[in-house]
Amino acid sequence: NAGVMQNPRHLVRRRGQEARLRCSPVKGHSHVYWYRQLPEEGLKFMVYLQKENIIDESGMPKERFSAEFPKEGPSILRIQQVVRGDSAAYFCASSPSITGDETQYFGPGTRLLVL
């Protein structure tokens, strides 16, 4: 079974550009989470989505950041007008739909570098 897939693995953007990060959950998982890890810091929750719904976006910056998990296709984390402070590793995790196994399995991450 393929695990959580993220692409690109590395992304370089100049200030003011847009970054689009993609996450394909484990097949059969319907819960997707995005986390950000700033250099030398811990993992911070950003947003929790199910198909076509944002369940919890309490960790998402109010401006420039958005996320979606459409009925078909991967989840997308979009960062508009990137700034240097957005440079970080962005991890996606997914959970199964079956109650009793709510473990979050992490993808390899996308390392975003803003020049």
Partner 1 sequence: QKEVEQNSGPLSVPEGAIASLNCTYSDRVSQSFFWYRQYSGKSPELIMSIYSNGDKEDGRFTAQLNKASQYVSLLIRDSQPSDSATYLCAVRGTSYGKLTFGQGTILTVHP
Contacting residues toward partner 1, per CB under 8 A: 31, 33, 35, 41-45, 48, 55-56, 58-59, 91, 93, 95, 99, 102-109
Q: Which is nearer to partner 1, 16 or 28 (CB)?
A: 28
- Whether the upstream peptide bond of residue 8 has omega within 30° of 0, thus cis, is yes
Rounded to a whole number of angstroms, the minimum distance from the CB of residue 81 to partner 1 is 26
Alpha-carbon gap, residue 61 to 42, rounded angstroms = 17
- Report residue 27 as tokens: 């097949």
Q: Which is nearer to partner 1, 41 or 63 (CB)?
A: 41
Residue 56, CA distances (Å) to 12, 17, 29, 67, 71 in order? 28, 26, 17, 11, 18
Rounded to a whole number of angstroms, the minimum distance from the CB of residue 27 to partner 1 is 18
Q: Which is nearer to partner 1, 5 or 76 (CB)?
A: 5
